[in-house]
Amino acid sequence: MSNTFLGMPTLPVFGSGNLNATEPFPKAAHRELGNAQLRANLGHATHTIRDKRLKVVAELPDWEEMRDAGSAIKNATMAKLPALLEQFEANFTARGGIIHWARDAQEANEIVTGLIRATGETEVVKVKSMATQEIGLNEYLQEQGIAAFETDLAELIVQLDHDKPSHILVPAIHKNRDQIREIFLREMEDVDPGLSNEPARLAEAARRHLRRKFLTAKVAISGANFGLADTGTLTVVESEGNGRMCLTLPETLITVMGIEKLLPLWTDLEVFMQLLPRSSTGERMNPYTSLWTGVTPGDGPQSVHLVMLDNGRTAALADEMGRTALNCIRCSACMNVCPVYERTGGHAYGSTYPGPIGAILSPLMTGIKSEENNSLPYASSLCGACFDACPVKINIPEILVHLRGEDVDSQRARVKVPTQMDLMMKGAEWAFSDGGHLNLLEKGLPLGKLVAGRDKVIKKLPGLAGKWTQSRDIPAPPGQSFRQWWAKEHRAPSGVEAGESAEGDQA
């Protein structure tokens, strides 16, 4: 199949699963902001990681060159995705791997369940994977009578606490050491009752808890950080060794990977394995990286499967303004620097993908009209810190603005009667179209002063404008407008033209 599309264009097919904000972001954020403990934990963690990232990025003289290469490689990947997928498939299959394709979350869950059933097992171990979180695999497997054990420390904490991840890299970022100790004491049957809150002791407790599981597991499920098209190689980047355990010990390995995770060349890994660790955990290199290509006789799992997942990725790809969101390598640098994420945490976004990247990726994959996802592109002050931090230079603020436009357009298409916003915009159009109109309006300023009263602030505006005053006051307007002041100050005294004043010379 060539890259040139000759058939009938198909409408974008959106993704399903855990990709939705189920309540509007402002409402969810308001609730989360009320949790002082959460805010303290997040503030501490995001500042720690920011400092670490800046330090290791500053060590490299060619960081910007690396970002340029990373960005170009991902753009090239998307431009020739069909050919690369077929190349990857041929190479992976030639070495004994088996590839399955899944249009959406449901299909992927069914494929994985079928593969597990074929082994006769009812328990699987899992390496942390965003793709399986996105499709809700654990919940689906539970319904099918299959127990999935998360083995990443943070995922384990979240699973034991029956909670949801709040960060793509450190899912338990919202918990501090004392809370983690309490969860372990409450939920781990074999835990030492004298467990302290020291991170090293907590890590040791996790090691003991999972050791037997690793050594006896027959089936493992993983995600993948990169798939290399020219060799058919898969990569998992991790820290603890739980990934190595899952990728090496079991007989059967099932990997779920989004179709956008490819890189054209093995050589491209030299760029991404420098960008990813420094951007995500602020390390020069993560402790462990595993690479495998199909089956290696006598070494590791002998039954190796890969599920290639669409689930809305092709819909994101169809959006010419938004498709670079698929370049994301899930490093989480954007959330760690985001002033909004730092305060609300990940749960406020609803979707598996929180923070700035989630605010664009989720609506791109589900469509702007899905549940409350149209509120996500507004979860930003457009400060641009995410764009500066992104290792593959995704212009997140630009895509946020593009999606706000999509939202407004979709509302307009849906509602026949003009909305308050339409009326306000109409009013603004009239006011700013003519100096005389504006002058007329400005005559009303003293009225605002009157409304503000003695404390000289307006606390509540009516209607839609009331959203502005929900979280801030407006200072009383001045008694006269700038134009009125200017006219008074520059009433030409004899012999001097108004335009020749000192200020006028600067122009």
Beta carbon of residue 354, minimum distance to another protein (angstroms, whole number): 16
Q: Looking at residues 119 to 148 of the shown chain, list those that interact with another protein (rule: CB under 8 A).
A: none
Q: Looking at residues 25 to 54 of the shown chain, list those that interact with another protein (rule: CB under 8 A).
A: 41, 44-45, 48-49, 52
Nearer to another protein, 119 or 481 (CB): 119
Which residues, including other chains, have CB under 8 Å from residue 411's CB and lie 6 or more apart? 419
Q: Looking at residues 299 to 338 of the shown chain, list those that interact with another protein (rule: CB under 8 A).
A: 299-300, 308, 310, 314-315, 317-318, 320, 323
Is the separation of the CB atoms in 222 and 131 below 8 Å? no
Burial of 40-61, coded b for 16+ CB within 10 Å and e otherwise, reads ebbeebbeebbeebeebbeeee
**Near another protein by CB under 8 A: residue from 20, 133, 222, 233:** 233
Is the separation of the CB atoms in 227 and 263 below 8 Å? yes
Nearer to another protein, 21 or 125 (CB): 125
**Near another protein by CB under 8 A: residue from 120, 145, 193, 298:** 298
**Near another protein by CB under 8 A: residue from 30, 39, 103, 164:** 103
Beta carbon of residue 92, minimum distance to another protein (angstroms, whole number): 10
Q: CA-based diameter of the chain, in Å?
A: 100
DSSP string, 342-404: HHH-SGGG-SSS-HHHHHHHHHHHH-TTSTTGGGGGGS-----HHHHH-TT---HHHHHHHHH
Q: Which two tokens stand for residue 320?
A: 């010419």
Is the separation of the CB atoms in 236 and 290 below 8 Å? yes
Distance of alpha carbon 291 from the chain centroid = 25
Beta carbon of residue 270, minimum distance to another protein (angstroms, whole number): 4
Is the separation of the CB atoms in 229 and 280 below 8 Å? no
* Cα separation, 203 vs 194, whole angstroms: 14
288 near another protein, judged by CB under 8 A: yes
Beta carbon of residue 271, minimum distance to another protein (angstroms, whole number): 7
Nearer to another protein, 247 or 476 (CB): 247
Q: Which two tokens stand for residue 480?
A: 């006269």
**Near another protein by CB under 8 A: residue from 19, 146, 153, 476:** 153
* Cα separation, 232 vs 88, whole angstroms: 5
The helix (run of H) or strand (run of E) holding residue 74 is helix 63-79
* Cα separation, 265 vs 451, whole angstroms: 66
Beta carbon of residue 325, minimum distance to another protein (angstroms, whole number): 13
Is the separation of the CB atoms in 165 and 155 below 8 Å? yes
Beta carbon of residue 113, minimum distance to another protein (angstroms, whole number): 16
Q: Looking at residues 253 to 272 of the shown chain, list those that interact with another protein (rule: CB under 8 A).
A: 259, 266-267, 269-271
* Cα separation, 94 vs 340, whole angstroms: 47
Size of the site for another protein (CB under 8 A): 107
Is the separation of the CB atoms in 380 and 24 below 8 Å? no
* Cα separation, 373 vs 239, whole angstroms: 33
Is the separation of the CB atoms in 258 and 131 below 8 Å? yes
Burial of 124-157, coded b for 16+ CB within 10 Å and e otherwise, reads bbbbbbbbbbbbbbbebbeeeebebbbbbbbbbb
225 near another protein, judged by CB under 8 A: no
Question: Which one of 204-212, 348-356, 428-436, 468-476 is the stretch in contact with another protein (CB under 8 A)?
Answer: 204-212
Nearer to another protein, 19 or 476 (CB): 19
Question: Which one of 141-149, 245-253, 428-436, 495-503 is the stretch in contact with another protein (CB under 8 A)?
Answer: 245-253
195 near another protein, judged by CB under 8 A: no
Beta carbon of residue 321, minimum distance to another protein (angstroms, whole number): 11
Helix (H, G, I), strand (E, B) or coil at 5: coil
* Cα separation, 63 vs 69, whole angstroms: 10
Nearer to another protein, 137 or 228 (CB): 228
**Near another protein by CB under 8 A: residue from 19, 81, 253, 364:** 81
Nearer to another protein, 296 or 419 (CB): 296
Nearer to another protein, 148 or 263 (CB): 263
Nearer to another protein, 150 or 372 (CB): 150
Beta carbon of residue 388, minimum distance to another protein (angstroms, whole number): 19
Nearer to another protein, 12 or 448 (CB): 12
**Near another protein by CB under 8 A: residue from 30, 39, 95, 490:** 95
**Near another protein by CB under 8 A: residue from 204, 409, 434, 500:** 204
461 near another protein, judged by CB under 8 A: no
287 near another protein, judged by CB under 8 A: yes
Nearer to another protein, 267 or 501 (CB): 267
Is the separation of the CB atoms in 387 and 356 below 8 Å? no
Question: Which one of 283-291, 420-428, 435-443, 451-459 is the stretch in contact with another protein (CB under 8 A)?
Answer: 283-291
Beta carbon of residue 245, minimum distance to another protein (angstroms, whole number): 6
